Structures are given as C-alpha cells and as structure tokens.
Amino acid sequence: MKIILGIAGEIGSGKGMIARHIEEKYKGSYHQFSTVLRDVARRMHLEESRENLQKISSIFRQNFNEDILSMVVCKDVEMDTHQIVAIDGVRRMADIKCLKNLEGFKLIYVEASIDIRYHRIVDRRENTDDAHKPYSEFVADHQREAESQIADLKNYADFVVNNEGTFLELYHQIDQIISGLNK
C-alpha cells in the first residue's frame, strides 16, 4: 500500500526537510501546496514573497472553494507512482478533509519553538522577503489568514514530531513512523 504523509507545521518548522528526507532516503516524491502558488506568481511576474503567495492563495479559495489547492495536490498525488509520497504545507482543515480520502494518508505535525523557526527562515531564504525579515514581522506572519489554522492541526495529526534537535534526530523520528507504517 502507498504511504502518503501530509506534513503540517508552522513556518520554519522543518516540513521541507522531512519531505526531502523522504525523497532522498526512500526514493519517494514530494508535493508542495505552494507549487501552484509559485507557478502563478512567476507567470504573473510577481515577487515570490510570503505575502504575495498568501494573497494568491486567498484569491483562489475565495473565488473557487476552500479546498481548491488540496484538490490539486490530491490529483497530483493520485497520479504519483511512488510508494512513499510526502505532502509539504498542509495548512487547513479543508486540506485534511480532502487528503484523508487518499488511501494510506497520515498527517504528521512538526513542532519547533518560534525562535528556532525564525532563525531557520532567515538562514534559508526560501522566499524573497525572508533574508531581512525582522522578528516582529515573523511573529505577525503567524496571524495572517494562511497561517492561522496551522497550530490547530496538531489536534488532528496521526504523529507529532519535535524538530528542535539535529537533522539526524528529526530523520530518526520520520524513519520510525515509516517503519511502523510498513508493517
């Protein structure tokens, strides 16, 4: 049976690291909710800032439906032939409702302190506005609509992992989850 791991967690918690670990160690694949948003931003010649991606997300959801992005991800995952698939960026209950219809889906919630997460996003510079983001703005980002539902997803997770240690400690937790699901 296919293992589909949805990964939820607040900004900078380590979702992408988990997805890349699954891709590298298990020869799995990974899908990101933000891929569609980044594609649209690039096509529209917009800066790929967190703010712009959140605006595009809001436009889609307000004008189509709340689960429009999860429907895209679900279709992509259904067509994916890999045995293990990671989905990076689960943010809303509407996402979970759609994804839970996929056979083999489990939700992982990743947690880390706000200070650790802040330093990670500044260091990694994934979005154009991350490198020079003040701490106060990072805290304010958590109040934006796109981020506001994430912490509650922990209550619906099949697994909760702590990412305040080393990469090896994080990967060990993920390896244990996958090992348990392969039984």
Domain with 162 in it: what CATH number? 3.40.50.300
Please name which of 168, 173, 167 lies closest in space to residue 14, comparing C-alpha atoms: 167
Output the CA–CA distances (angstroms, integers) from residue 157 to 116, 139, 171, in the order listed: 22, 24, 18
**Facing residues of 159 across strands?**
108
Residue 98 belongs to domain spanning: 3-181
Domain count of the fold of the chain: 1
From first to last of its 183 residues, the chain has per-residue pLDDT tens of 899 999 999 988 999 999 999 999 999 999 998 889 999 999 999 998 878 988 998 899 899 988 899 999 999 999 999 999 999 989 888 889 889 999 999 999 999 998 898 888 877 766 556 667 777 877 777 677 657 788 889 999 999 999 999 999 999 999 999 999 987
Q: Global pTM?
A: 0.86
